[in-house]
Structure 1
């Protein structure tokens, strides 16, 4: 996590292999961390799914339909961000560290795809940006998880530091830009759904007396 934080504060993308080698040397000297960090690097996406559920639950309990629109956008924006990242990855053609550098420690299965930007970091950045829209507290928890994911992907030898820094930025930018563009449609859609039998999934607040209900006409 220190590498990610340092790059964030200095504004420099640590693409230089020496940064990666420093992290890789640290990984070699901390065998006791291999199992937990590798598990998080591979399966940490489950934590982000749980954070998205937390965001939905918080929005539902708040009885705020605009907040619910933000909560529902968070997973959608994440999928959009990961999709947007695919042509970027294919265009950049950056080799994985274990392909570009000899004799590096690799703790995960070697992938045949390209390295820059990191899909895992894009996902983490998008989830975090989306959850900050919903709740500052949930967003902070997600931010810690995102920095840990970015650092873990470098630790296990799957990415250069610059891959994950850029991935976090791409994910956050796409999620936030998408919400700005779609906000009115999202809020309108949630307000419309709140007048249907799906309302209990969106809010715990009772429907206002005299509020128009959605009707199906033939």
Structure 2
């Protein structure tokens, strides 16, 4: 079933130039795009937004750590190792389950979504596209993506619940940043309820 679902998506790769370019671009640049978004939130957002960036970074780091552990406990070969696939982007033949790109994308998106809805929804939609692109280019099975979403959801929920305990860390980081000369500063707290 996993391989059948994979084939139903990957079969289009290499036959549609626009989709190929889009999916390869997303798969290659997704995490960089998320990093840019978080930097923009940090530089131009008020303290409440900066705290969200700190929590998102913590969420992403812990989610990828869990992936690292899973990948060493259970090794699933990449689709292009076990099958003939339409491989659009070269990749090392390391563990397929779960997907680091998808986990990172969903972890960051969910961390933002829990606090700032409008930005988070956009990031979440892009996370789904990131996961789809990983299948399309031949790097992952659908169940790899599902596993990544589950890891991200669990870790982002845990970090969100622990955010009151992590707030002193976030405040310290923001305080240090605000003491750096010549960097953008917006220190007033923003209301995130309707964002």
TM-score (norm 2): 0.83
CA drift at 1:197:
7.7
Q: Quick one: which of 86, 110, 125 aligns to 1:105?
A: 86
Q: Compared with structure 1, are the counterparts of its residues 25 and 93 closer, same or farther at alpha carbon in structure 2 (3 Å cutoff)? A: same
Is the CA contact 1:125–1:170 (under 8 Å) kept in the aligned structure 2?
no
1:162 alignment partner, SS class: helix
- Alpha-carbon shift at residue 28 of structure 1 (Å): 3.8
Q: Does 1:85 align with 2:67?
A: yes
| 1:117 has 2:93 as partner | no
The answer to whether the 8 Å contact 1:51/1:138 transfers is no
Aligned 1:51-66 pairs, distance under 5 A: 51-57=37-43, 59-60=45-46, 64=48
Per-residue deviation, 1:83: 1.2
- Whether the 8 Å CA contact 1:70–1:133 is kept in 2: the answer is no
State the secondary structure of the residue aligned to 1:26: coil
The structure 1 residue matched to 2:130, chosen from 130, 146, 149, is: 149
Shift of 1:43: 1.6
Aligned partners of 1:22, 1:194: CA distance in 2, in Å? 47
**Following the alignment from structure 1 to structure 2, what is the Cα–Cα distance between the partners of residues 194 and 50?**
18
Give the 3 Å change call, closer, same or farther, for CA 116–205 of structure 1 in structure 2. Answer: same
- 1:59-95 deviations in Å (ceiling 9; x for gaps): 41xx54xx54233111121111111210101212111
Q: Alpha-carbon deviations, 1:101-156, whole Å to 9, x = none?
A: 1x211011131211011011110110011111331001001011101100000000
TM-superposed deviation, 1:192 = 5.4
Question: How far apart are the structure 1 equivalents of 2:131 and 2:40?
Answer: 21
In structure 2, do the counterparts of structure 1 residues 192 and 104 end up closer, same or farther at CA, with 3 Å as the change threshold?
Answer: closer
Q: Distance in 2 between matches of 1:196 and 1:106?
A: 45
Larger radius of gyration: 1
- Aligned match of 1:186: 166
Deviation at 1:172, TM superposition (A): 2.6
Given candidates 145, 154, 163, the residue that maps to 2:144 is 163
The ranges of structure 1 where at least 4 consecutive aligned residues each deviate by more than 6 angstroms after the TM superposition are 193-197, 199-202
Is this contact kept in 2: 1:93–1:114, CA < 8 A?
A: yes
Deviation at 1:190, TM superposition (A): 4.1
Partners of 1:85 and 1:197 in 2: how far apart? 30
- 5+ residue gaps, structure 1: 1-14, 207-218
Instruction: Name which of 109, 125, 137 aligns with 1:128.
Output: 109
